Structure 1
Amino acid sequence: MALPISYILFFFLLALSIFLSISSSSWFGIWIGLELNMMSFIPLITIKMSSHLSESALKYFLIQALGSTMFIMSSCMFLSFTQMSPPILLASLLLKLGSAPFHFWFPQVMSGLTWAQAIILMTLQKITPMVLISYLSTHSSLLKIISLSAILSAIIGALGGLNTMQLRKMMAFSSINHMSWMLISISISDTFWVTYFLFYSSISSAIMALFLIFQAFTLADLMKLSQTNPIHTLIIPLNFLSLGGLPPLAGFIPKWMLIQFMINNNMYMSLLILLSSALITLYFYLRVATFFLLLTNPTAVPNVKLNFTFSMPTSLLLFFNLFMLNLPFMFLLF
């Protein structure tokens, strides 16, 4: 069913607000873009009348309103309290971003969203705060706060996803963990974090698009997928292993670049924490992958013919996965 024109308009305003915020030359213009972004995303959350969607919309509104209040307050304090204003401004952006220690709202909001809304929340809604944090990374006093938030995000994102059976919460804690790599990348250079964000957005969007197609929200739902099509058992584990950064998949490329830079600059302690958290996240990614590969056995179902047909979405996603699988070898050729 086609979306109403009003929702297409809200999505257009969402994209417009991102460009308005990152291209504005004043804090007031950035604040207007952030407010427009919030007020255009909330109608997209409440696209259907549901208690879960309404609860997520209310939580998102309260958190974003608090972040906007802190943002405009710190902007007004620049002239009088020059030392206090930048940390408050950075804290407001970390709150909007859902990075630790201001991560508490992100898994709860994600739990009530549909997969289409979760894709927007985990990709487009992160662009503006990260660009603004990259502007603030020129202040040497704020780099320690950014690094501290990155370390906390790595630890919380890794430990938070261990015991959850909900796929949306798993993706939320995965996003928090990947935020640690992106925050460290922001403190280094714009090229690093843009590269990491593009890889992360493409891989995580592919995973959530698969869950949207299959309408899977828990690990138990994965077991109910069509066991007569073995193609499904290839696509989802391949995406998860790539998201976990397992070499030689494409998700390892931005982490490889960042690891080399951190080693060259003697950032061993931060690198140790990030790599340890990546191993933990790879554990619960592998739990999904092995669950899919070992328990999904079409031959164990009697009188069922194997179906190797490729639907259009499945074909596109499989092509995407196979292309991403070969992408690291293309880098090695140059």
Structure 2
Amino acid sequence: MLSPEMLMFSSTLVAGTVISISASSWFMAWLGLELNLLSFIPLIATKHNSFSSEAAFKYFLIQALGSATLLASVTILLVFPFTPKILIFCSLMLKMAAAPLHFWLPTIMQGMSWSNCIILMTFQKIAPLILTSYILCDQLSIMLISVSILSALMGGLGGLNQTLLRKLMAFSSINHMAWMLAAMSSSTNLWVHYIFTYTIISFSLVIPLNYNQTFHIKQLANISIPHFNKMMVFLPLFSMGGLPPFLGFLPKMMVITTLIDQQFFMWTAILTMTALITLFYYVRLAITSITLSSPKTSRNLTPTDQGPAKISLINFMPMLFPLMTFIPI
């Protein structure tokens, strides 16, 4: 059960995002981002240890820098029409950890619990993404493409030598940010569909990892459940990499199709190749968990404890789509 203070901070966290995305002025948008920031810091520091306190302090500094840049930029916007938009764009990229302003995300996620990691990877990106969509114009399209390509490369290459699962998920989030920005350049509905699907897949992966308290690649061998259920736990890895016929393949296919229709062939090729790199280290995690076992340190789970494994079945949803044609209307 949530404690009263955690329930309050969670409510104000959601309220801050709602204020930002529904604001009629940049000042109200900044106010919502600040409310969101000040609500998330107590959630990070709930464990009262040095790692979570350090993560909360670093997160405050980075987000305060982004908020200060945003507030200074919108005041200059009253005098100069275009130049401050570049600074607004950069401050929002810093807040959502898009390359080359991604440096803070892996170290901060390493000091968080899995529940806070999933909030940072998904919900905390909604307000900056929507505010970015408000300022997009032809002059900023080159910057958007550059940031998307850099995020794809940094997220793909940065996760290759990672053995810490939270850092690996951070680089995975940076790579997915490239796809969200590519989807945003085409259609609002497309990036909303992408982040919604990414949130579902991330939850289906993080819930089993949080249940088993797994933080290192070596600990994957400690998950002692039947091999079929162990395989089910790590199906979201293949889905997150965009492997058909899993759920994560659908939004990536839609983004690729849209970019090809707009003749962004090089952009599409870079996104696809970096998605293959991320799929490589996802497969490495899955193979490690399935083939290795450590009976001395693992705990045997009863059938009632295997609920987190069943949540991975949501990644089979695309297989059900052909069957829906037989449902009578």
For 1:174, which of 153, 159, 172 is the aligned residue? 172
Q: Is the 8 A contact 1:20 1:33 kept in 2?
A: yes
For 1:325, which of 298, 312, 316 is the aligned residue? 316
1:256-281 CA distance string (max 9 Å, x none): 11111112221100000000100000
Q: Report sequence identity in percent.
A: 41
Q: CA deviation at 1:87?
A: 0.3
* Alpha carbons of structure 1 residues 215 and 307: separation in structure 2 relative to 1, 3 Å: closer
Separation in 2 of the partners of 1:328 and 1:89? Answer: 42
**What does 1:149-298 align with in structure 2 at a 5 Å threshold?**
149-226=147-224, 228-296=225-293
Q: Is the 8 A contact 1:74 1:86 kept in 2?
A: yes
Q: CA deviation at 1:123?
A: 1.1
* Alpha carbons of structure 1 residues 308 and 13: separation in structure 2 relative to 1, 3 Å: closer
Runs of 5+ in structure 2 lacking a partner? none
Q: Is the 8 A contact 2:214 2:220 kept in 1?
A: yes
Aligned to 2:93: 94
Separation in 1 of the partners of 2:302 and 2:44? Answer: 36
1:278-315 CA distance string (max 9 Å, x none): 000000000011112222498xx9xx9x977243xx33
**What does 1:57-96 align with in structure 2 at a 5 Å threshold?**
57-96=56-95
Q: Runs of 4 or more off by more than 6 Å in structure 1?
A: none
1:48-99 CA distance string (max 9 Å, x none): 2110001100100000000000000010001222221000000000000000
Q: AA paired with 1:24?
A: A
Q: CA deviation at 1:332?
A: 8.4
Separation in 1 of the partners of 2:222 and 2:290? Answer: 14
Separation in 2 of the partners of 1:58 and 1:292? Answer: 34
How many corresponding residue pairs?
324
User: Structure 1 residue 143 and structure 2 residue 141: aligned?
Assistant: yes
Q: CA deviation at 1:244?
A: 0.6
SS where residue 101 of structure 1 aligns? Answer: coil
SS where residue 46 of structure 1 aligns? Answer: helix
Q: Is the 8 A contact 1:229 1:307 kept in 2?
A: no
- TM-score normalised to the size of structure 1? 0.92
* Alpha carbons of structure 1 residues 308 and 36: separation in structure 2 relative to 1, 3 Å: closer
SS where residue 181 of structure 1 aligns? Answer: helix
